[in-house]
């Protein structure tokens, strides 16, 4: 393949799929986006830490072959566009990518580069693990009770962008249609000229592919439950359907390896048969309470887009907040890993911010490759560095007795603590 915006490495191979199963060479090529703002501070540290872990775990038999691809300000400066098609093609061609944060261009047609990447590559599952690392500041008494992973649907729901502003022609037409043809009475006459609309599509196919990913993960990692989080008591045909399709999918495709919560009590006296995952559901407002009160009863959550947005941030606050929050955007054959935080422009280039979020996204990438030994080394390193109390400013200011270190020094501390 001929590329114009980057030079492919002379060594390494790309990932491939054999009958749906990921095939990982010993030297996989990993396209990365450096990122805007603090991307220059955190991305090099993440690469260094991952390289050190892979070298330590596999003694030179395996290595990551990095290739920089471009998006954001660097792409604009070099190629005159924020998101070159080649960058998307590279993620597709190599089936993987990791990215630093990207600033949202002001003006112009792009709402957000991150959203554009997810939509264009159909990365429909936004995956966020939430585990507590001892030593991190937390507002709750038992942050260690949280060991969860969230699968948030990322392509539909109110984020689909089907909206009309109050007073627009679209809103007027919709009011007429709803009132005159559908017999809707909920929009009173005095509000009809000043009502805005957003439409919330939730489909069977997109729900099922998301729930499938969540259940596959639970089975692979031997986790005990998948919880469908919905507001189906109010939004019956969108959120309620999400719940029903989730149970249906579990029954259709994983019938012998899953058991619904109701069957668990009706048929198994509360004890799930060995090797099965319990499928349960919770209403979203109740789930926000359960996060705090019964944290350890949940391991995998599957959520529609908006619930996922609220609940993932609420949960992240319990276990360390933005400097730690990490995730992946996953499709069927492409996965792009990223930190949750943005470009924090006021700190750009100061070697100051916390690189942990992107490093933990890198851990997810290593696990995706099946390189769990290297992933564990990084996890140990992060835990050791935090416990040693030599941390970046964000953690230092909340932790008594901690010493503030630079982003790069924190990376070195992680490497030293890996063993």
User: Active-site positions?
Assistant: 159, 231, 285, 309
Q: Which residues 246-305 are close enough to bind ligand NAP by CB under 6 A?
A: none
Letters for 363-392 (x = contact with ligand NAP by CB under 6 A, - = none) are ------------------------------
Radius of gyration of the chain (CA): 23
Q: Which one of 101-109, 172-180, 254-262, 288-296 is the stretch in contact with ligand NAP (CB under 6 A)? A: 101-109
Put residue 183 in one of left, alpha, beta given phi > 0 → left and psi -120 to 50 → alpha: left
Interface residue with ligand NAP among 52, 102, 316, 363 (CB under 6 A) is 102
Among 84, 129, 342, 411, binds ligand NAP (CB under 6 A): 342
The least distance separating ligand NAP from the CB of residue 342, rounded to whole angstroms, comes to 2
Q: Which is nearer to ligand NAP, 12 or 35 (CB)?
A: 35
Order of strands, sheet of 125-131, starting from the edge strand that comes earlier in the sequence? 65-68, 29-33, 96-99, 335-339, 326-330, 125-131, 147-153, 300-303, 225-230, 277-283, 258-260
* Position among 40, 136, 357, 375 found at the interface with ligand NAP (CB under 6 A): 357
- Any contact of residue 103 with ligand NAP (CB under 6 A)? yes
> Binders of ligand NAP among 26-45, rule CB under 6 A?
38, 42
Q: Decide: is 343 part of the binding site for ligand NAP (CB under 6 A).
A: yes
Rounded least distance, CB 396 to ligand NAP, Å: 11
Q: Which segment (80-88, 99-107, 236-244, 260-268) binds ligand NAP by CB under 6 A?
A: 99-107
Q: From CA 238, how far away is CA 202, in angstroms rounded?
A: 5
Q: By CB under 6 A, is residue 417 in contact with ligand NAP?
A: no
What tokens were used for 64? 């990551």
Q: Which long-range contacts (CB under 8 A, 24 or more apart) does 239-245 make?
A: 239/202, 239/284, 239/304, 239/307, 241/202, 241/204, 241/207, 242/202, 242/207, 242/304, 243/281, 245/204, 245/207, 245/208, 245/211
Q: Which helix (H) or strand (E) holds 256?
A: none
Pairing assessment for the beta strands 300-303 and 163-164 based on DSSP bridges = unpaired
Q: Of these, 213, 217, 230, 341, which contacts ligand NAP (CB under 6 A)?
A: 341
Q: Give yes or no for residue 114 binding ligand NAP (CB under 6 A).
A: yes
- Residue closer to ligand NAP by CB (options 48, 253) is 48
H-helix or E-strand spanning residue 97: strand 96-99
Residue (115 or 166) nearer to ligand NAP, CB: 115
Does 362 bind ligand NAP (CB under 6 A)? Our answer is: no
User: Which of 64, 395 has the CB closer to ligand NAP?
Assistant: 395
> Smaller CB distance to ligand NAP: residue 304 or 355?
355
- How crowded is residue 209: how many other Cβ atoms within 10 Å of its Cβ? 18
Joined together, the tokens standing for residue 265 give: 């009590």
The Cα-based distances of 351 to 175, 405, 409, 411 in angstroms read 53, 9, 9, 11
Distance between CA atoms of residues 400 and 419, nearest Å: 26
Q: What are phi and psi of 71, to 5 degrees?
A: -155, 165
Among 28, 143, 232, 323, binds ligand NAP (CB under 6 A): 323
Select the residue interacting with ligand NAP from 75, 123, 130, 344 (CB under 6 A). 344
Residues 38-97 that bind ligand NAP (CB under 6 A): 38, 42
User: What are residue 136's phi and psi, to 5 degrees?
Assistant: -75, 145
Residue with the two structure tokens 């140990």: 380
Asked if 327 is part of the footprint of ligand NAP (rule: CB under 6 A), the reply reads no
Q: Which helix (H) or strand (E) element contains residue 270?
A: none
List b or e across 374-406, with b for residues whose CB sees 16 or more CB atoms inside 10 angstroms: bbbbbbebbbbbbeebbbbbbbbeebeebebbb
Which of 104, 260, 350, 380 is close enough to bind ligand NAP by CB under 6 A?
104
Q: Which is nearer to ligand NAP, 114 or 307 (CB)?
A: 114
Q: Does 320 bind ligand NAP (CB under 6 A)?
A: no
Given the complex with ligand NAP, which of 241 and 334 has the nearer CB atom?
A: 334
Q: Which residues would be at the binding site for ligand NAP (CB under 6 A)?
A: 38, 42, 101-104, 114, 322-323, 338, 341-344, 353-354, 357, 394
């Amino acid at each position: 393949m001929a590329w114009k915006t980057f030079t492919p490495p002379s060594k390494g191979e790309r990932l491939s799929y054999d009958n749906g199963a990921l095939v990982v060479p010993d030297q996989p090529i990993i396209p990365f986006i450096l990122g805007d703002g603090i991307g220059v501070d955190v991305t090099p540290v993440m690469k260094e830490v991952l390289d050190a872990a892979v070298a330590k775990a596999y003694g030179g038999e395996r290595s990551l072959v990095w290739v920089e691809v471009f998006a954001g300000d660097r792409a604009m400066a070099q190629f005159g566009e924020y998101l070159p098609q080649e960058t998307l093609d590279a993620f597709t061609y190599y089936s993987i990518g990791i990215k630093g944060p990207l600033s949202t261009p002001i003006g112009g047609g792009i709402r957000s580069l991150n959203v554009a990447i997810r939509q264009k590559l159909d990365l429909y599952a936004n995956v966020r693990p939430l585990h507590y690392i001892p030593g991190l500041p937390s507002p709750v008494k038992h942050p260690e009770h949280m060991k969860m992973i969230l699968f948030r649907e990322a392509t539909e729901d109110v984020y689909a962008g089907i909206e009309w502003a109050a007073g627009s022609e679209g809103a007027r037409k919709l009011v007429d249609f709803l009132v005159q043809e559908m017999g809707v009475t909920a929009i009173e006459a005095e509000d009809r000229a000043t009502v805005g609309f957003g439409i919330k599509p939730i489909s069977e196919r997109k729900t099922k592919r998301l729930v499938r990913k969540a259940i596959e993960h639970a089975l692979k990692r031997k986790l005990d439950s998948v919880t469908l989080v919905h507001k189906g008591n109010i939004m019956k045909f969108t959120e309620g359907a999400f719940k029903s399709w989730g149970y249906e999918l579990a029954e259709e495709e994983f019938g012998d390896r899953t058991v619904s919560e109701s069957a668990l009590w009706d048929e198994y006296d509360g004890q799930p048969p060995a090797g099965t995952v319990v499928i349960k559901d919770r209403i979203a407002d109740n789930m926000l309470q359960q996060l705090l009160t019964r944290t350890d009863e949940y391991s995998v959550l599957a959520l529609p887009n908006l619930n996922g947005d609220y609940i993932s941030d609420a949960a992240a606050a319990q276990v360390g907040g933005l400097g730690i929050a990490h995730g992946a955007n996953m499709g069927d054959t492409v996965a792009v890993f990223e930190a949750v935080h943005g470009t924090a422009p006021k700190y750009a280039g100061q070697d100051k911010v916390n690189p942990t979020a992107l490093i933990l996204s890198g851990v997810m990438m290593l696990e995706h490759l099946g390189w769990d030994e290297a992933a564990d080394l990084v996890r140990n390193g992060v835990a050791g560095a935090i416990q040693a109390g030599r941390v970046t400013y964000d953690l230092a200011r909340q932790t008594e007795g901690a010493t503030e270190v630079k982003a790069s020094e924190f990376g070195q501390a992680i490497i030293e603590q890996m063993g």
